[in-house]
Amino acid sequence: MDMKELIPNKVASRVLCAALVALPICWAFHVMLTHWVAVPWWDEWLTPGDTLASYYRGTLHFADLWSQHNESRKLFPRLLYLALFVPAGWDVRYGMALTFAWVCAGSAGLYCLLRQCVSRPIACCGFIFMNLLLFSPRQYENFLYGIEGENFTPAFALVFALVCNLRAKSFRMKAMTNGLLALLSTYTCANGMLVWLLAFPAQWKGLPVSESTADRRFWRIAYSLAGIVSIAAYFIGYKHPPDTPPFAIGISKLPRLLHYFTIWVGDLFITSAPAFVGVFILSLFAWLVVVAIRRAEREDSRRAFYPWLNLGSYVLISGLVTASGRVGFGVAVAFDVRYTVFTVFLYIAVIGLFCTAYQNVERSICPKFVALVGAALLLAGWVFTFRQEMPQLERNTTERQHLQLVARWSLAIPANPDLHFLSPYPETLQRIRTLAEHDALRPRLIDGALTRAVERSDTPTSKIAGYLDRVAFVSPDRLLAEGWGQIPGRDAPADCVILGFRDEMDRWKLFGVTETGLPRPDVAIASGNPHLAFAGFGRIFAVHDFPKGSVIFEARAIDLRHKQAFPLAGAMAVTRSKD
């Protein structure tokens, strides 16, 4: 065949490969943009929430930056958050965008690693499937968590360190670069300490070097001492988090630990048998390790298998430590989607090992068949997980949007029971107050004039803006509120509805907030206004400390644009037993 005929085919192949690589990235980015919500959630109120509040109070010290967050010392993330959020305001979507950019950079690092181990065609095929995993549907929730980039950091730091070990000619450069990456990982996430071991500077035979044997020995010693000092400093004043169970150590706890570990590994895709998937992936990795050991007598084979063995070891060690530290919470914790940030790299390591093994074996029918079966299983798992994950993502987004509303009204309604879903930390309200005083919190809180209008026990207006249909206990600690609300004069659903009650002393207390948007075709028909077809609201509140006795519930429809509150008809008497 003429060379000119080959060139178009080569270009077309590269374009197709680039398109297949870009497709899951672009779709994941689209999902992030269409589902992100600007409200800090859960651990974000501690880091970076507490760090930012301390900065604005003028009480931030190095000890605060150094302090523990669970088992981790998040020194570098805290410094990054200060640099990111102090100038622009604390909008967690900036963190999500930064996480996504970091994962894209890590993806490029994986391709560089593949190209050091296999030919371009095999690297392209392997990279397509690595990217499908890295941007898989189970990661969508992680991209919507502003601090999740922290958990990606150790693995990507290891990836770039392994690239340096394979490519850099200068041993000094390897030691310095890998040492900095290991230091960054150690003080970002607890398992980042593993990078010191797994990224130890390596020199491969046959590659030119610019240092003498004595110089290389010096840099090995310097790297080792830096790792010892870094890890030793990490444990100065370290305390086991009081809210976590003790490590599960002992033969009697081994079955539960292994069960947890296999679920942890196998939960990258949604399946009915994650433990089975975990055992399968671990067995596949073990088989490929045996293949790598058998070919270890060849220097080029050792060099090609080396990065994937180290990346897989990182996941296995991290998983066993996690299992021993978390199994006390119960096996169900292993299903936490945030763990897929770690487990995905074992699957990536399996693909890297297989590509390397495929590069070094005869092109018989067996490896091709295994590759096709593996690709088919991965694609089937990806599609099934996508179909299961998207509805869950919609539910999560709806709940985050509600929590955004809760956050905006948090200082006006400090007793809102839904604040417990926003943050588990009792200091959160004080942090919100501090950040709001410096206009540093996104979303911004509700305007003071509207807050004062709602806090009044009576709303001076003759316009009725809807109806409070029902307020009742559906269980001893669950209170249901239903109705519909509109903005008079605009013929539009209320932006939100504020609930409050008058207690036995006739004191007016704000209770909670909920959004409209539930279908109310009866209201649209009765009013002759189709715009009110979704003016309904309904929410169940967890009310563990609700006052006992009789109270009278009332509601207000809120117009955020004009900062007005309108009463709803239908005050409801609610009684909670004093027994």
Read off the pLDDT of residues 54-67 as tens digits, 9 standing for 90 and up: 999 999 999 999 99
Name every residue whose Cβ is closer than 8 Å to that of residue 35 and which is 6 or more positions away in sequence: 140, 144, 393, 394, 396, 397
The domain segmentation of the chain, as residue ranges, is: 448-576
- Is 448-576 assigned to CATH 2.60.40.10? yes
Cα–Cα distance, 379 to 368 (Å, whole number): 16
Cα–Cα distance, 162 to 48 (Å, whole number): 30
**DSSP bridge pairs for 565:** 558
pLDDT for residue 161: 97
Read off the pLDDT of residues 274-298 as tens digits, 9 standing for 90 and up: 999 999 999 999 999 998 888 877 7
Is residue 201 over pLDDT 70?
yes
Q: Is 570 helix (H, G, I), strand (E, B) or coil?
A: coil
Read off the pLDDT of residues 72-89 as tens digits, 9 standing for 90 and up: 999 999 999 999 999 999
Rounded average pLDDT over 516-542: 94
Averaged confidence pLDDT in the chain: 91
Query: Taking the model in full, what pTM does it have?
Result: 0.93
| Higher pLDDT among residues 142 and 295, named by residue | 142
Read off the pLDDT of residues 206-247 as tens digits, 9 standing for 90 and up: 666 667 888 899 999 999 999 999 999 999 999 988 888 888
**DSSP bridge pairs for 574:** 551
Is residue 517 over pLDDT 50?
yes
- The angle subtended at Cα 456 by Cα 451 and Cα 459, nearest 5°, is 100
Task: Report the percentage of the chain scoring pLDDT > 70.
Answer: 95
Cα–Cα distance, 311 to 350 (Å, whole number): 9
In this structure, are residues 486 and 492 in contact, taking their beta carbons and an 8 Å threshold? yes
pLDDT for residue 544: 82
4 confidence band (pLDDT: 50, 70, 90) = very low
* Four-residue CA torsion sign, 125, 128, 133, 138: negative
Of 356, 352, 371, 296, nearest to 159 (Cα)?
352
pLDDT for residue 213: 84
Rounded average pLDDT over 474-492: 91
Element housing 416 (H / E): none
Q: Which two tokens stand for residue 201?
A: 């500077």
Cα–Cα distance, 278 to 301 (Å, whole number): 27
pLDDT for residue 247: 86
Name every residue whose Cβ is closer than 8 Å to that of residue 241 and which is 6 or more positions away in sequence: 68, 70, 71
Cα–Cα distance, 133 to 348 (Å, whole number): 7
DSSP string, 171-233: HHHHHHHHHHHHHHHHTTSGGGGHHHHHT-----TTS--SS-HHHHHHHHHHHHHHHHHHHHH
Rounded average pLDDT over 531-546: 92
Is residue 184 over pLDDT 50?
yes
2 confidence band (pLDDT: 50, 70, 90) = very low
CB atoms within 10 A of CB 264: 30
Cα–Cα distance, 313 to 319 (Å, whole number): 10
